[in-house]
Amino acid sequence: MWPSVLKLDISGIPEAWIDVEEAAHYYATDSVAYSYGEVCATLHGGISRLTSRRSVIDVHPILAVRGHCVASRLLRAQPRLTRLNDKLFRRDRMTCAYCGQVFTAAELEREHILPFSRGGRDTWMNVVSACRPCNQRKANKTPEEARMPLLYVPYVPSRWEDLILQARKGHVLGDQMDFLRAGLPAHSRLAA
């Protein structure tokens, strides 16, 4: 299976994961300003009528697309808290915010610190990962009312973290991980 390619804007801000075919399209249209990392895929294109040679595109794991500066938009936008919980659980390192134990994704739930029924919103700052027993025990209360203090605080992931969280598990190449880790804020739980 081909790895995903990390697409940057011209200023080096990570924008998205793209597939190798899309990356090859940027190379073929001469839209790649610069790229990093060792070649991670080689694609063979059609045979040139002029030279009778098959075109070959070497795809690097990180590439910046020419004429495409979206840094200010990217940095302003908060990463989306998706309905699927895997990004949240990975932000919280699969750890229940109330008992501190590590669980599998199947054993964790999205917990609203200020309960949904009391106006709590579905935002990065109001959700943590909790195991089912803790979630049920806390029920419709705040942590103070339930006497269940949070063991860690929620935070909004940065773009760099979000792209790590989005990546399919185990599919981030070393060059890509090094690049994204270099952009992590000090408080990130993904930095370790």
> Which residues here bind Zn ion, judged by CB under 5 A?
96, 98-99, 131, 134
Angle, CA of 97, 104 and 82, to the nearest 5°: 70
Q: In the bound complex, what is the minimum distance in angstroms from residue 153's beta carbon to Zn ion?
A: 16
Instruction: Decide whether 47 or 102 has the Cβ nearer to Zn ion.
Output: 102
Instruction: Decide whether 13 or 88 has the Cβ nearer to Zn ion.
Output: 88
Q: In the bound complex, what is the minimum distance in angstroms from residue 188's beta carbon to Zn ion?
A: 23
Q: In the bound complex, what is the minimum distance in angstroms from residue 186's beta carbon to Zn ion?
A: 27
Q: Which of 99, 146, 91 is nearest to 118 (CA)?
A: 146
Instruction: Decide whether 23 or 131 has the Cβ nearer to Zn ion.
Output: 131
Q: In the bound complex, what is the minimum distance in angstroms from residue 136's beta carbon to Zn ion?
A: 10
Which residue has tokens 């659980």?
89
Instruction: Decide whether 68 or 132 has the Cβ nearer to Zn ion.
Output: 132
Pair of tokens at residue 70: 């979206």
Spell out the residues 6+ positions from residue 33 whose beta carbon is closer than 8 angstroms to its own. Answer: 10, 64, 65, 66
Instruction: Decide whether 59 or 134 has the Cβ nearer to Zn ion.
Output: 134
In the three-class reduction of DSSP (H, G, I as helix; E, B as strand; rest coil), residue 99 is classed as: coil
Spell out the residues 6+ positions from residue 125 whose beta carbon is closer than 8 angstroms to its own. Answer: 154, 155, 156
Q: In the bound complex, what is the minimum distance in angstroms from residue 75's beta carbon to Zn ion?
A: 35
In the three-class reduction of DSSP (H, G, I as helix; E, B as strand; rest coil), residue 33 is classed as: strand
User: 10 near 32, Cβ under 8 Å?
Assistant: no
